[in-house]
Amino acid sequence: MPEGSYSTNALCPLTRISEFKQMVHSLHNAGIRVILDVVYNHTFDIANSNFQKTYPDYFFRKNADGIYSDGSGCGNETASEKPMMRQFMIESVKYWINEYHIDG
């Protein structure tokens, strides 16, 4: 779902989606390509993460001592080397391309 703080109604998912799609369409009409900066390498919270609830400790990288890795300094690292995490990343990007018509 698009970030709400850029929408005229941050609390309404339908508005956020509609306005984002309108923005992409308008930018494309102006000859501007749309590239998203998505963050897959870390998350804020593990305990409440849908990843953790789906398959505990699979989607997050741990250090040799069993502590969750925070190499980025931004939060708990996702385990992008694991097949299901990598698949999530790929499918997510495909969704944004197909649903919102972003360019990269």
pLDDT at 98 > cutoff 90: yes
Q: How many domains does the chain have?
A: 2
Pair (68, 91) in one structural domain = yes
Distance CA 45, CA 55 (A): 15
pLDDT tier, 17 (very low <50, low <70, confident <90, very high otherwise) = very high
Pair (10, 55) in one structural domain = no
Q: Write phi, then psi, for 65 (nearest 5 degrees).
A: -85, 5
pTM: 0.83
Question: Using N-to-C axis directions, what is the helix angle for 83-100 and 13-29, rounded to 10°?
Answer: 70
Pair (46, 87) in one structural domain = yes
Q: Which two tokens stand for residue 53?
A: 């609830």
Pair (52, 100) in one structural domain = yes
For residue 43, what pLDDT is reported? Answer: 84
More reliable by pLDDT, 1 or 95: 95
**Degrees to nearest 5, angle at CA 90 with 104 and 103:** 10
Pair (55, 104) in one structural domain = yes
Pair (52, 101) in one structural domain = yes
Pair (55, 18) in one structural domain = no
Domain of residue 18 covers 1-33
For residue 47, what pLDDT is reported? Answer: 87
pLDDT tier, 75 (very low <50, low <70, confident <90, very high otherwise) = confident
Pair (8, 29) in one structural domain = yes
For residue 16, what pLDDT is reported? Answer: 97
Least confident of 4-8, 25-29, 74-78, 88-92: 74-78
What are the CA-CA distances from residue 81 to residues 9, 61, 97 (Å)? Answer: 37, 9, 23
Pair (49, 74) in one structural domain = yes
More reliable by pLDDT, 44 or 59: 59
Pair (77, 102) in one structural domain = yes
